């Protein structure tokens, strides 16, 4: 048992320096762009949203959700950034030097899926949407209340200065890296102990491994608005509990704080549920496309 805990601790310790470097780079570029203005346009919205969503944070999905509540962006743009957002998954993958191919596949698939789904949704809903493009002054996650931040697993104090609003990017990157390392450690310990006590075969049975239902299950799990979920999904993949297609489904449905902001800022519950449904359906569709490709290979 202690070996399982020690292995989890050593894996986390090895990943910590890489996590710190990744978050330092993210904090640096986000800090430099704090006053940058972005413009939402119907023709380019899903494309820009899909690109911004690749940045390892959930600030853009939160900002886009707030803009949607003001009718400044389209439904397709919002769903695109939700699909593209990976929260803490990519930094965790970066900590494993042998996973570069996986990283490229995840980024590429999520970007293409986000762009395709975004434009398809806008095409279908074109006549029903009235959008007035506005300038986005990037306030990042500072616009989110402390209560909303805490719901998603962020501390209320650190949350206000997250990513682009950090005054000391070195300290901010260290705090974020330690926070994610803690999630990683907890997830690793839980998985390792489960393998030790009940066996990998039983865990795979719980997550219906090798079953066509697994992408659907992971897409549902991804809807939970907490950054720990994306960490858990990646750890399950690295532990061979879930397939690549299931990980993609889970990461495509995970929008970080974006979904919380949407339901808080936008008072139209029917619209919110519709967007939730579109995000989930898109994630499931992408997951099953990858699943079919896996079967064919």
Rounded Cα–Cα distance for residues 287 and 145 (Å) = 33
- The answer on pLDDT for 3 being more than 90 is no
Rg (CA), the chain: 19
Neighbours of 98 (CB within 10 A): 6
Among 21-25, 28-32, 234-238, 278-282, top mean pLDDT goes to: 278-282
- The answer on pLDDT for 59 being more than 70 is no
pLDDT tens for residues 202-226? 766 777 777 789 999 999 988 987 7
Query: Residue 164's pLDDT band (boundaries 50, 70, 90)?
Result: very low
Rounded Cα–Cα distance for residues 181 and 166 (Å) = 19
Query: Residue 107's pLDDT band (boundaries 50, 70, 90)?
Result: very high
Rounded Cα–Cα distance for residues 169 and 24 (Å) = 7
**For all residues of the chain together, what is the average pLDDT?**
77
The pLDDT of residue 285: 96
Q: What is the mean pLDDT of residues 39-53?
A: 75
Q: What is the mean pLDDT of residues 149-159?
A: 47
Q: What is the mean pLDDT of residues 140-165?
A: 47
Torsion of CA 39, 43, 45, 46, to 10 degrees: -170
More confident residue, 99 or 206: 99
More confident residue, 183 or 174: 174
pTM above 0.85? no
Length of the chain counted residue by residue = 297
- The answer on pLDDT for 39 being more than 70 is no
Query: Residue 62's pLDDT band (boundaries 50, 70, 90)?
Result: confident
More confident residue, 186 or 77: 77
Q: How many domains does the chain have?
A: 1
The pLDDT of residue 35: 37
The pLDDT of residue 42: 64
pLDDT above 90 coverage of the chain, percent: 25
- The answer on pLDDT for 150 being more than 70 is no
Residues 26/140, Cβ–Cβ less than 8 Å: no
SS3 162: coil
Q: List, in sequence order, the alpha helices (H) in the chain.
A: 2-32, 45-52, 59-69, 75-84, 89-94, 100-124, 146-151, 156-160, 169-198, 200-206, 214-222, 227-238, 244-253, 258-265, 269-296
Helix (H) or strand (E) holding 135: strand 135-137
The pLDDT of residue 178: 82
What is the domain range of residue 218?
2-296
More confident residue, 58 or 140: 58
């Amino acid at each position: 048992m202690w070996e399982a805990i020690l292995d989890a601790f050593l894996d986390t310790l090895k990943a910590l320096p890489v996590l710190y470097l990744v978050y330092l780079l993210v904090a640096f570029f986000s800090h430099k762009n704090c006053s940058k203005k972005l413009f939402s346009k119907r023709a380019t919205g899903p494309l820009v949203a899909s690109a911004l969503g690749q940045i390892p944070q959930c600030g853009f999905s939160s900002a886009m959700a707030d803009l949607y509540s003001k009718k400044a962006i389209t439904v397709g743009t919002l769903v695109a950034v939700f699909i593209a957002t990976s929260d803490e998954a990519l930094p965790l993958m970066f900590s494993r030097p042998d996973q570069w191919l996986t990283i490229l596949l995840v980024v590429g698939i999520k970007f293409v899926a986000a762009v395709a789904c975004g434009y398809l949704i806008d095409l279908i809903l074109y006549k029903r949407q009235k959008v007035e493009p506005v300038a986005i002054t990037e306030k990042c996650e500072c616009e989110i209340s402390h209560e909303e931040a805490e719901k998603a697993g962020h501390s209320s104090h650190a949350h206000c200065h997250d990513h682009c609003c950090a005054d000391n990017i070195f300290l901010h990157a260290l705090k974020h890296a330690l926070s994610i390392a803690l999630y990683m450690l907890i997830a690793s310990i839980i998985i390792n102990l489960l393998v030790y006590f009940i066996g990998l075969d039983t865990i795979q049975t719980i997550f219906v491994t090798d079953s066509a239902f697994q992408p659907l299950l992971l897409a549902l799990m991804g809807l939970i608005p907490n950054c720990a979920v994306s960490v858990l999904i990646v750890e399950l993949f690295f532990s061979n509990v879930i397939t690549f297609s299931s990980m993609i489904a889970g990461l495509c449905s995970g929008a970080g704080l974006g979904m919380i902001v949407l339901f808080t800022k936008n008072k139209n519950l029917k619209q919110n549920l519709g967007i939730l449904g579109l995000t989930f359906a898109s994630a499931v569709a992408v997951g099953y496309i990858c699943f079919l490709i896996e079967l064919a290979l």
